[in-house]
Amino acid sequence: MEVVSAITAKLVEYAVLPIGRQLGYLFCYSSNVSDLTGKAKELQEAKESLEHLVVAARNNGEEIESSVLSWLSKVDEISGKVENFQGDAGQARTGCTNLWSRRQLSRRAKKMGEAIVKIQEAKKFEDNISYCQLPKFTEAVPTIPGHEDFKSTISVLEEIMKSLRDPTVNMIGVCGLGGVGKTTLVNRVGKKAQEDKLFDVVALVAVTIKPEVDKIQTEIADMLGLKFEDQGELLRAIRLRKRLKQEKNILIILDDLWTRLDLGKIGIPSVDDHKGIKILLTARDTDVLHNQMNVKKLFSIEVLSQEEALKLFKDTAELHDTNENSDLQSIAAEVAKMCNGLPLALVTVARALMQKDISVWRDGLRQLKSPHTGETTEMTEGPKILHEFEL
């Protein structure tokens, strides 16, 4: 009898109970569908509320946590299934639905309702949906097109990158005439240093002839995600120094120094205070770097050779030997020579003359030979730039 009882119990477990569950789907059709509709509506409201926070965070320049994006994706997926279900249920109401189909629809509604509950329970991030990502290094000024392709420029770039990888070198200087391409070069150095993942943060600041400490502090802080309020110079320096020391590896590029700059006053820690910091400086005067800033590793950028200068000038002015008359070619060569191998002067003058009539070229050459006439013509920008570089 005990054996028969055991067999009977198993029959009930494997046959009667599943049948009861299937009948439950059939009898609870309306409640399961109604429950699903309510849960789907609540989920959609939660999604819309979260999306408002996401939009606000992105407008503030913040990155969205991957868990948030994953949750929104799951919501979209289940919402699509609910929409398909509602279409099927709508057709069932207008047609002749047999008991099996009704049971299937009820079961789908029940399962999707349970899935929605799990998705809702997984939403545990509250308002912590985003984070501030440190901005990537971006070039402060447009590079001089074509300048980076010359052997002399490539050679200096490679040497600087080699020094940045050298753990014994912490301060590097780049010197050269105004307009020779120092800014263009260090922009490229900063970009490559970040691409090669040599540093966690790369910050470039233009110092200029009259350094503004608060401006330099703010620009470096921006690259670190550090925000200053109405604080004095000293407190800003303390906060900046503390923040810089939190970075394992950081490169600070200070472009266009004209005199000694007190790094401590800005908040830049010394090499002894932070082994992970490297500083790259540029100046026209070697004395500023070597004697005033105590830079041991110096690189000099020379002017372009006559051949390189003419190529850069023609490429920028879109002159081609095959389709330009000899007079224009001759004027171009003379104009390029007047720029004394300075890339910025070559590019500026070439852009001013590009696609102009030969008469403008002749007038431009005349102005370059005597740039202080005070005339205002289509070529005025060229003499201005040459005067700035004291050519």
- Residue 42 has a pLDDT of 93
Residues 6+ apart with CB under 8 A from 158: none
Nearest to 140 by CA among 24, 282, 259: 282
Give the residue carrying structure tokens 């939009």.
55
Residue 16, CB-side half-sphere exposure with 13 Å CA sphere? 6
Nearest to 239 by CA among 267, 212, 211: 267
What is the C-alpha separation between 208 and 210, in angstroms, rounded?
6
Residues 6+ apart with CB under 8 A from 111: none
pLDDT in tens, the chain (391 residues): 554 455 555 444 444 445 545 555 655 777 888 898 999 999 999 999 999 999 888 877 688 999 999 999 999 999 999 988 887 776 666 554 566 677 778 888 889 899 999 999 988 877 788 887 766 776 655 556 666 677 778 899 999 999 999 999 999 999 999 989 899 899 999 999 999 999 999 999 999 899 999 999 999 998 888 888 777 889 999 999 999 998 999 999 999 999 999 999 999 998 888 889 999 999 999 999 999 999 999 999 999 989 989 999 998 888 876 655 778 888 999 999 989 899 989 998 999 888 888 888 888 888 888 755 444 444 444 445 555 544 4
What is the C-alpha separation between 71 and 76, in angstroms, rounded?
9
**Superfamily name with CATH number, domain 147-300:** P-loop containing nucleotide triphosphate hydrolases (3.40.50.300)
Nearest to 299 by CA among 289, 309, 291, 307: 289
Give the residue carrying structure tokens 């009820």.
106
Which residues share a beta bridge with 252? 203, 279
Residues 6+ apart with CB under 8 A from 151: none
Please check whether residue 292 is in contact with residue 304, taking contact to mean a CB–CB distance below 8 angstroms: no
For the domain bounded by 306-388, which CATH number is listed?
Answer: 1.10.8
Question: Residue 383 has what DSSP assignment?
Answer: H
* Residue-wise DSSP of 76-143: HHHHHHHHHHHHHHHHHHHS---HHHHHHHHHHHHHHHHHHHHHHHT---TT--EEPPPPPP--SS--
Helices and strands of the chain, counted as H and E runs:
16, 7
- Residue 321 has a pLDDT of 67
